[in-house]
Amino acid sequence: MNRSYSSNELIYRPRWIAKEVHAALKNFPVLVVSGARQVGKSTFLQHEFPGFKYVSLDDFTRLHQAQTDPASLWNDTDRVIIDEAQKAPGLFSAIKLAVDRSHRKVRFLLSGSSNLLLMQRISETLAGRAVYFDMLPMTLGEMDGTEHPTAGFRGLWKPGIPVKEQDLGEVDPFPQILRGFMPPLMTLAAQDVLRWWGGYVKTYLERDVRELSQVDSLVDFRRVLEALALRTGNVLNQNSVARDTGVSQPTVHRYIKLMEISNVLHRVYSFAANRTKRIVKSPKVFFVDPALSCFLAGLHEPDALRSSREAGGLFETLVYLHLKVQTELSVPRMNLYYWRTITGKEVDFVLEHGRKLLAVEAKLTRSPTPNDIKGLLAFLDDHPQTVRGVLLHAGTQVRWMHSKIVAVPWWWIGR
């Protein structure tokens, strides 16, 4: 299955998260949509909620108004979108007051490139009033304009529903990994993609980072950012990052936290339901878009990516993006973990939904073998309540490899 890109006009493509946001707005006065810069938050909110007044705090006049007299932003309405809301932390106390005085009849849609849930003072102010959503880069299906595939991924959680063996066609992961999944990239020619990512990194370093925190040296911050890009999809060792970059371990820790708050990087923690097992407890790190990792790691060509030692971690990052989007669509929200024992048994992802578990392994191979499911078998043995094991691969076929393990092409979960 080949994919091509052209300079067609940019049109809005529905985001799968829209249904959940609309449903939550019926019962909650404040909705917070956070995500990395350029994932499409502003476009999404303006398109999905045209009856709301739109206020952007990127506008200096509006920002000054939010800092000095925040209630004046919604004097003429009880339905308002406030974009880049994290720029005026004092705004949230005024929102709380407006919600309480109106007996929760007003509606606020807040968006920001910072993860407001990680900004403790803000999340505490809105406790009991706000629902949080994490908007990620687009999935393959969203880019194609397809509706959320409820039958596929969700069907994996139902042991009575069979998955039919078939050939689905191939989507080469490497062009997708190199281009990325940010909405503005959809219409760019290949030669402009690298220019776009260069501008993205420059904006992130010179604007977002400086707004969020005092960074002593942007050179050191960039060095840590690049070191982590080489480690995406791997267990985090902060001492190793500090040694390789020449930046102190406490500073590395602070920079990683800053990357999390700015939605560039996520930490995935280990699954430890069985406390008698000796497991690796350090988190894994994933960049929200695999192409950002590629750009920072200096991988700009498909051949260089295919032969790189980072290819497996970048493929896993591609899978992570699509799984993470699926967790945001579930009610209650799924938890996403990884599993690794100190003896070397491991599974790339463990999804937990209530008391149900789904184990997922990502393998950069076109022809899965029994050796590729050893980790899944070990996890199933330790956690027999697991509904199913899933092997996501770079080939074309859906086929059963064990009575509880099915192999499917990677893109199947994102379309």
390 - beta bridge partners? 360, 406
Q: Is 387 within the bounds of a domain?
A: yes
Same domain? For 319 and 389 the reply is yes
Same domain? For 113 and 170 the reply is no
Rounded CA separation 198/192 (Å):
10
The pLDDT of residue 145 = 85
Instruction: Please return the burial class of 370, using the count of CB atoms within 10 Å of its CB with bins 0-12, 13-18 and 19+.
Output: exposed
Could you list the pLDDT tens digit for every one of the 415 residues in the chain? 444 444 444 578 899 999 999 999 999 999 999 999 999 999 999 999 999 999 999 999 999 999 999 999 999 999 999 999 988 988 999 999 999 999 999 999 999 888 776 566 677 788 889 999 999 999 999 998 887 765 678 888 887 666 788 999 889 999 999 999 999 999 898 889 999 999 999 988 878 887 777 777 889 999 999 999 999 999 999 999 999 999 999 999 999 999 998 899 999 999 987 655 667 889 999 999 999 999 999 999 999 999 999 999 999 999 999 999 999 988 889 999 999 988 889 999 999 999 999 999 999 999 999 999 999 999 999 999 999 999 999 999 999 999 999 999 999 887 7
Check the CA dihedral 133-135-138-143 and report its sign. positive
Rounded CA separation 148/227 (Å):
35
For residue 82, give the 3-state DSSP assignment: strand
Tokens 């048994």, residue located:
345
Contact call for residues 414 and 397 (beta carbons, < 8 A):
no
What count of other Cβ atoms lies within 10 Å of the Cβ of residue 21?
19
Same domain? For 173 and 208 the reply is yes
Same domain? For 128 and 201 the reply is no
Same domain? For 86 and 217 the reply is no
Given 81, 111, 134, the domain boundary residue is: 134
Q: Is 3 within the bounds of a domain?
A: no
- Count the domains in the chain: 2
Same domain? For 78 and 222 the reply is no
Q: Is 5 within the bounds of a domain?
A: no
Which amino acid is located at 304 in the chain? A
Contact call for residues 405 and 391 (beta carbons, < 8 A):
yes
Structure tokens at 339: 């599993």
The pLDDT of residue 181 = 96
Same domain? For 165 and 206 the reply is yes
Contact call for residues 376 and 405 (beta carbons, < 8 A):
yes
299: left (phi over 0), alpha (psi -120 to 50) or beta: beta
Q: Give the CATH number for residue 88.
A: 3.40.50.300
Given 117, 134, 151, the domain boundary residue is: 134
Q: Is 7 within the bounds of a domain?
A: no
Same domain? For 177 and 39 the reply is no
Same domain? For 185 and 213 the reply is yes
Q: Is 320 within the bounds of a domain?
A: yes
Q: Is 13 within the bounds of a domain?
A: no
Nearest Cα to Cα of residue 376 among 365, 356, 391, 363: 391
Structure tokens at 150: 């409820």
Residues ≥6 apart with Cβ < 8 Å to 159: 387, 388
103: left (phi over 0), alpha (psi -120 to 50) or beta: left
Backbone angles phi, psi at 379, to 5 degrees: -65, -45
Contact call for residues 314 and 290 (beta carbons, < 8 A):
yes
Instruction: Annotate 345-389 with DSSP letters as a single string.
Output: -EEEEEEEETTEEEEEEEE--SS--GGGGHHHHHHHHH-TT--EE
The pLDDT of residue 150 = 58
Q: Is 245 within the bounds of a domain?
A: yes
Same domain? For 120 and 164 the reply is no
Q: Is 11 within the bounds of a domain?
A: no
Nearest Cα to Cα of residue 385 among 404, 364, 370, 402: 404
> What's the domain range around 45?
18-134
State which H helix or E strand residue 238 sits in: helix 238-245
Same domain? For 91 and 172 the reply is no
Half-sphere exposure of 135 (CA within 13 A, CB side): 31
Same domain? For 128 and 150 the reply is no
Rounded CA separation 246/270 (Å):
28
Rounded CA separation 112/263 (Å):
10
Tokens 């139902």, residue located:
158
Given 109, 134, 159, the domain boundary residue is: 134
